[in-house]
């Protein structure tokens, strides 16, 4: 099983990737490098790009929140414990979804 230190490193790396992405999206949404255009058709394109950017930003922020929860659970020694049934979360599952708080059985049930 991966050591808590290694898991923490992995979570922190992912966390910094995500906050960079969220920051980049924020800068793009403020149009720091591509000022809003005057042309109406171009504005429509920009608006729909902004829509996509906002979704990317929102999902990055969601994942950031999950990672913060995972880091707290790790620090509290609860990282491997399912938040629902108290059983152990499968290692393969944590490798695939490092921010999960549920074992495979409970995740299946809550869907
Ligand atoms: Zn469970």
pLDDT digits (tens, 9 = 90+) for 71-92: 999 999 999 999 999 999 999 9
User: What is the C-alpha end-to-end distance of the chain, expressed in Å?
Assistant: 27
Same domain, 69 and 91: no
CA of 25 to the centre of ligand 1 (A): 35
Same domain, 88 and 34: no
CA of 99 to the centre of ligand 1 (A): 14
Same domain, 42 and 13: yes
Relative orientation angle of helices 40-75 and 4-29, to the nearest 10 degrees: 160
For residue 89, the tally of other CB atoms under 10 A from its CB is 23
Q: Which two tokens stand for residue 105?
A: 């059985």
pLDDT digits (tens, 9 = 90+) for 8-50: 999 999 999 999 999 999 999 998 877 878 888 888 998 999 9
For residue 84, the tally of other CB atoms under 10 A from its CB is 14
Same domain, 7 and 27: yes
CA of 107 to the centre of ligand 1 (A): 7
Contacts of 48 (CB under 8 A, 6+ apart): none
Q: Which two tokens stand for residue 80?
A: 């491997």
Same domain, 43 and 92: no
Same domain, 53 and 107: no
CA of 18 to the centre of ligand 1 (A): 27
Domain count, the chain: 2
CA of 87 to the centre of ligand 1 (A): 5
Domain extent for 89: 80-111
pTM of the model: 0.82
């Amino acid at each position: 099983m991966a050591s808590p230190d290694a898991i923490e490193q992995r979570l922190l790396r992912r966390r910094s990737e995500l906050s960079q992405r969220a920051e980049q999206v924020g800068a793009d949404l403020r149009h720091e490098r591509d000022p809003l255009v005057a042309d109406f058709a171009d504005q429509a394109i920009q608006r729909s790009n902004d829509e996509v950017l906002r979704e990317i930003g929102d999902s990055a922020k969601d994942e950031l929140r999950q990672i913060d929860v995972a880091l707290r659970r790790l620090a509290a020694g609860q990282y491997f414990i399912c938040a629902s049934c108290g059983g152990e979360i499968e290692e393969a599952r944590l490798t695939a979804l490092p921010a999960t708080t549920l074992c495979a059985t409970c995740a299946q049930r809550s869907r």
